[in-house]
Amino acid sequence: MLKHFPIFLFLSAGLLSANTFADEQAELEQAIRQLESAKQALVRAQSQAKSTNIKTRFYFDYAKARKEIDMVRSGIHYYLNNDRAQPRNPGDVRTLTGDYEKTRVRQK
């Protein structure tokens, strides 16, 4: 029994890591839904602020808040749907030359 214990641990770790990723993915998908709810709440709050017509020295920047929510949502979406084998910017691949040989300049 003890000689098979390391194999059991290895297989268990693989199953646990797959479950952990699934749990992480579910939580991140929930975070995306909550970010969308936050954007809707911002729309409602901005509508309320406009209807009150109260001019104060400070105000909430709704556009910036929505932009930053979109940025966070995009980052989470990219993480969840990213094919790790591909470069982040495929255009960068075209700029690679593959030529790494350089001639040394003789110093006098």
pLDDT digits (tens, 9 = 90+) for 67-104: 889 999 988 998 888 776 555 565 654 554 444 444 44
What are the phi and psi torsion angles at 105 (to 5°)?
Answer: -85, 125
pLDDT digits (tens, 9 = 90+) for 35-57: 999 999 999 999 998 888 777 77
3 occurs within a structural domain: no
Three-state secondary structure call for residue 31: helix
| pLDDT: which is higher, 14 or 25 | 25
87 occurs within a structural domain: no
| pLDDT: which is higher, 11 or 78 | 78
93 occurs within a structural domain: no
How many domains does the chain divide into? 1
1 occurs within a structural domain: no
pLDDT band at 31 (very low <50, low <70, confident <90, very high): very high
- The answer to whether residues 59 and 49 touch, using CB atoms and an 8 Å cutoff, is yes
Burial class (CB in 10 A: 0-12, 13-18, 19+), 32: middle
In terms of residue numbers, what domain contains 63?
11-52+59-81
105 occurs within a structural domain: no
In the chain, which residue ranges form alpha helices assigned H by DSSP?
Answer: 5-52, 62-81, 91-94
